[in-house]
Amino acid sequence: MLESIPMSQSRTIQTRLVLPPDTNHMNTIFGGKVLAYIDEIAAITSMKHAKMQTVTASFDSVDFYSPVRSGEVLELEAIVSSTGHSSMELYIVVRSQDIHTGEKKLTTESFVTMVAVDGNGKPQEVAPVFPETEEEKRLFESGPQRRQHRKEKRDMPHKFFSL
């Protein structure tokens, strides 16, 4: 087993300007664009933690809270919140800021699972994490419940489609 490392070691922050091509007919950012940004920061954060390539296993949850308009600034922040043998759960929060008024708001929260892999795509062991701050402790301590929910969802028979 690898030595535990602090959650803060993987923390990643990205800043992006929302431009007109990123927006829909309502002049707000496409949800899919936000998802792409989340996937990218999840990859970077998980690779920093694992010190190897990673792949997206699942978007466990994505909650959109408020729209983001063209001209606003997005700030994405990600951290590895818990780990399994080869998997990492990441917590990603997205905030927006109106550069004219300075108003900041929470726009999106997401949990994403990434898996460390070798050059052949075979899962590889990752180091466990440990929390240091109160916020990190809350994320870390609630991780087993989210892991159990993912397992139950994965084990559920797929009855929705009979293709």
87, 46 Cβ separation under 8 angstroms: no
pLDDT tens, position by position, 66-111: 999 999 999 999 999 999 999 999 999 999 999 999 999 999 999 9
Q: Whole-angstrom Cα distance, residue 161 to residue 55? A: 26
Give the architecture (CATH level 2) of 5-155.
Roll (3.10)
Task: Give pLDDT, residue 77.
Answer: 98
- This prediction has a pTM of 0.91
Task: Give pLDDT, residue 160.
Answer: 62
Q: pLDDT band at residue 57, thresholds of 50, 70 and 90? A: very high
Q: pLDDT band at residue 119, thresholds of 50, 70 and 90? A: very high
Task: Give pLDDT, residue 163.
Answer: 55
User: Which residue type does 77 have?
Assistant: E
Between CA 22 and CA 29, with CA 24 as vertex, the angle to 5 degrees is 50
Domain boundaries defined on the chain? 5-155
Q: Whole-angstrom Cα distance, residue 148 to residue 142? A: 10
Nearest to 89 by CA among 122, 61, 118: 61
